[in-house]
Every structure is written in C-alpha cells, then in structure tokens.
Amino acid sequence: MKMMNIAVLVNITKDSNLIVTKELVKWLLSRNCNVILEKAIAREIGLGELGNDEEDIFKRADYLVALGGDGTILNVTRRQIPYVKPILGINFGHLGFITEVEKEFMFDALEKLLNNDFKIEKRMMLKAEIYRKEQLIKELYSLNDICITKGTLSRIIELETLVDNKVMETYRGDGLIVSTPTGSTAYSLSAGGPIVYPELEIILITPICPHSLNSRSIIIGSKKTLEIRIVSANEGVFLTADGQLGLEVERGDRVLITRAPYNAEFIKIYNRSFFEVLQKKLKEFSS
C-alpha cells in the first residue's frame, strides 16, 4: 500500500478539546500515513513536528480530511486554491449537504479511503472580480454562492445585471444571490430559488425579496460572464463569498462573476444519491 499524505483540517469550535482530532491522527499514524496538520493544531495536540505552513499543507497533501460541517468544507475548498486536492468531509454539524460521512462512521470511511475504495466527485466553483474605477480591487472564489446584499439599515438596493455584455435585468430589492448547483440548496433555496442537480454546470441567479413580482430566478450557462453593476447610492451594501468572506461595495462598482478555473473535488465513499441526501436533510431541517 502506497504511503498517503493526509492533511487533517479541523474546525476547533466543532471538536471540543480536539478529542476527535487526536484520535484520528493517532489512527492515521498507526496505519503508516504521513499526517499533515496546521501548526497551531499540531502544537495543541503535542505533535508539533506534524505542523506545516498553510501553503505547504495543500502542496504536500494527497487528500484533505475536513472535520466540521458544511461551513468547514466551504472554508477548506477556498483555502486550498490553486492546489485542488480531494476532500473527505466528516460531519460534526447539523445540516451536512456537502460532508460525506457522519463522525461516528469516520474510521470506516477512512479505511475505505486508504484502500482506494472511493470515487471522486467534481463540483464547479465561481470566481468574482470586483472593480472600482476600472481597477481590480478584490478577487474571491466560492463553492456555494456570491451574494450582494443590503446592510441592516440600508434601504432597497438597485443592481443592474448583464450577461455577456447584454442587459438582463435591473433588480431592486434586498440583494442578489449568484450560486452554483451546489449552492442551490443553501441561501438561494431560502430565497425561493430552485434546487439544481449538483453535477450540472450552470449559474443560478436569485433575487432576495425583489421589489417587483416579475423578478424570478434565472439560470444561465456556466460559460457566460455575469456582470453586476452597483447602481444603489445607499451605504452598507456588501458582497460575500459563501457567507464567509467579503467586502463592502460602493455605487459604481462592477462585479464580474464567472465559472472558476478550478473545480472542488470531493471523496465519495458511500453510494448515496443526491436525492437520498436531499430528502433526509430537508426533513431534518424542517423538523
């Protein structure tokens, strides 16, 4: 069996006192794996020699094991760019659409990983480029969505949208969600957008509380370029990627959203269909 380089990335708010992390690292070392950890985590569990800088983690790893929930997966997926490595998500959270396995089945899943008994599933990502006075000021990537929303005290905001330089619509409301198929079961779903099969390659545009009843979700091809112009003069308009990273945008700013040049790769251990997971998670969410 080839010696594997496995990076363990943990959400410390989910693993109290790093109890599961310690157990997992011990298990991997006993199976002759090279374990790669963040420096702070390695020191915390008394294995400082396993600590690595951020870039080295993703350079060296063959596989990434993420301990947490969907939010942890989103974070890891963005952090590893441009070193795209397959991710095995271990669910510690409540609603795991992206995570592959619940933590009680973690070692069974890892045994299959070490024996190469798995498949790789690819998911498209988005890239957002924010321009101010024709200067690129920020570039963000997302697995779920790019959102432009008003602040708590802001009034209705106005967003002009173009697809491949052709005017699509001017939205007036609380904002706009631009999502991947993976993100269709996240914020977009809460805003009334459709559920999209995750292996499709499309970009989904969903308005948030639109002022006009004619405004509805629109699906465009993944090769299209979506441009959003900030028309609103109000302060407190924000752009966020996966609800985790972002910045305040201003009147006159332009946001170009395209399919990212990188896919996310997920390790699939169990032969569960998207619909099986969907029904289970939606039932949990509604109960």
Q: What is the pLDDT of residues 190-237, one digit of tens each?
A: 999 999 999 899 999 999 998 877 788 999 999 999 999 999 866 789
Q: What is the mean pLDDT of the chain?
A: 92
Residue 80, φ and ψ in degrees, nearest 5: -80, -10
Range(s) within the chain of domains with CATH label 3.40.50.10330: 5-118+269-286
For residue 8, pLDDT over 60 is answered with yes
**278: pLDDT confidence band, cut at 50, 70 and 90?**
confident
pLDDT score of 204: 98
Q: Which of the pair, 3 or 20, is modelled with greater confidence?
A: 20
Nearby residues of 2 by Cβ (< 8 Å), 6 or more positions away: none
For residue 132, pLDDT over 90 is answered with yes
For residue 181, pLDDT over 90 is answered with yes
Distance CA 271, CA 36 (A): 28
Residue 37, φ and ψ in degrees, nearest 5: -130, 160
**286: pLDDT confidence band, cut at 50, 70 and 90?**
low
Span 96-123, pLDDT tens digits: 788 899 899 999 999 999 999 999 999 9
pLDDT score of 232: 80
pLDDT score of 225: 98
Residue 209, φ and ψ in degrees, nearest 5: 45, 60
The active-site residue, picked from 15, 53, 62, 70, is: 70
CATH top-level class for 125-261?
mainly beta
Average pLDDT over residues 257-261: 98
pLDDT score of 153: 67
CB contact at 8 A, 7 and 37: yes
Give the position of tokens 């619509």. Answer: 169
For residue 84, pLDDT over 90 is answered with yes
In the three-class reduction of DSSP (H, G, I as helix; E, B as strand; rest coil), residue 19 is classed as helix
Structural domain 5-118+269-286, CATH architecture: 3-Layer(aba) Sandwich (3.40)
Residue closest to 267 by CA, chosen among 122, 103, 80: 122
**1: pLDDT confidence band, cut at 50, 70 and 90?**
low
pLDDT score of 287: 60
Q: Is 70 a catalytic residue?
A: yes
pLDDT score of 233: 65
Range(s) within the chain of domains with CATH label 2.60.200.30: 125-261
For residue 249, pLDDT over 60 is answered with yes
Distance CA 226, CA 220 (A): 9
CB contact at 8 A, 181 and 199: yes
Give the position of tokens 């669910």. Answer: 91
Going by the DSSP 8-state scheme, the letter that residue 250 receives in this structure is -
CB contact at 8 A, 38 and 54: yes
